[in-house]
Amino acid sequence: MVDMGDLTGRVAIVTGGAGGIGRAVCETLAYHGAIVCPADMSVEICQPVVEAVEALGGTCYPVAMDVIELENVQRAFKEVNDKFGHIDILVNIAGILSGDKVHEVTPEHWDKMIDINLRGVHYCMQTAVPYMAANGGGSVVSVSSQAGQVGGWMGSVAYSASKGGILAMTKGYARQCQQYHIRFNDVAPGLIATPLTAARGDKPDGIPVGRLGTGQDIANAIYFLASDLSSFIDGATIDLNGGQFMRS
């Protein structure tokens, strides 16, 4: 029987790879055999991820990438492709979280949220397509949020809009890129325990399973969507929220 979950030899770019969820994703993809390239604001902040992946016996090649600068994104993809000869998996995690209230959404706040969380994902997807098409296909997984479906834990406005945009954009990319055998899917996390949520003191109130999610919970689903285990899934969203929100 073929191991459909084996990622040996596949090259994965993980934006936001130095962050809480990003690190768990890099470790998990590497555990299953992928060469992982965390792409974050600097190579230096990816160093703990490099050490963690190498401790697993994996290969980790960090690249500096600011997702809101198109030339920056294109340079990072080229660097990875020049180094390894192909790009098979893209995981879009880079993002900023905000519980913005209606009166707090200044034009500057709106632009920053949409630029990083939505335009940045578009730039990475758009840049990935020709590389993956040239290589016979690939898998793209983006991290949206429960906020993108229900308006947010704290009633965020711009953040919810940016994450809801990812859900719609993913379907658009999926429809247009089926001819290239590139699949596009999302995960929509609820409240996940990362440094970001720890700083806010978030508690599992209202989460039926009685705990916050972990980076590993998210990484497990991203691994599934990135691998051939999910080869019949395209344009879909997996909800990862401990039963807090159930779609009809």
> Which residues contact ligand NAD (rule: CB under 6 A)?
15-16, 18-22, 40-41, 65-68, 93-97, 116, 120, 143, 145, 189, 191-192, 194-197
* C-beta closer to ligand NAD: residue 132 or 222: 222
* C-beta closer to ligand NAD: residue 30 or 143: 143
Measure the CA–CA gap between 241 and 188, rounded to whole angstroms.
Answer: 8
- The least distance separating ligand NAD from the CB of residue 101, rounded to whole angstroms, comes to 17
Residue 125 parent element (H or E):
helix 120-134
Sheet of 11-15: strands edge to edge?
Answer: 63-64, 35-40, 11-15, 89-92, 138-143, 182-189, 237-240
Residue written as tokens 């879009």? 92
- The least distance separating ligand NAD from the CB of residue 40, rounded to whole angstroms, comes to 5
Cross-strand bridge partners of residue 239: 188
Strands (E) across the chain are located at 11-15, 35-40, 63-64, 89-92, 138-143, 182-189, 237-240
Measure the CA–CA gap between 244 and 41, rounded to whole angstroms.
Answer: 32
Choosing from 159, 173, 180, 223, the catalytic residue is 159
Residue written as tokens 């690190």? 23
* C-beta closer to ligand NAD: residue 2 or 199: 199
- The least distance separating ligand NAD from the CB of residue 98, rounded to whole angstroms, comes to 9
* Residue of 219, 114, 124 whose CA lies nearest to 173: 124
Cα dihedral: 84, 228, 34, 55 (round 10):
180
Measure the CA–CA gap between 65 and 47, rounded to whole angstroms.
Answer: 15
Residue written as tokens 């999926």? 174
* C-beta closer to ligand NAD: residue 134 or 245: 245
CA atoms within 13 A on the CB side of 246: 5
Residue 131 bears catalytic tag: no
Residue of closest CB approach to ligand NAD: 19
Measure the CA–CA gap between 34 and 30, rounded to whole angstroms.
Answer: 5
* C-beta closer to ligand NAD: residue 120 or 138: 120
- The least distance separating ligand NAD from the CB of residue 8, rounded to whole angstroms, comes to 26
- The least distance separating ligand NAD from the CB of residue 117, rounded to whole angstroms, comes to 6
Which residues are known catalytic residues?
159
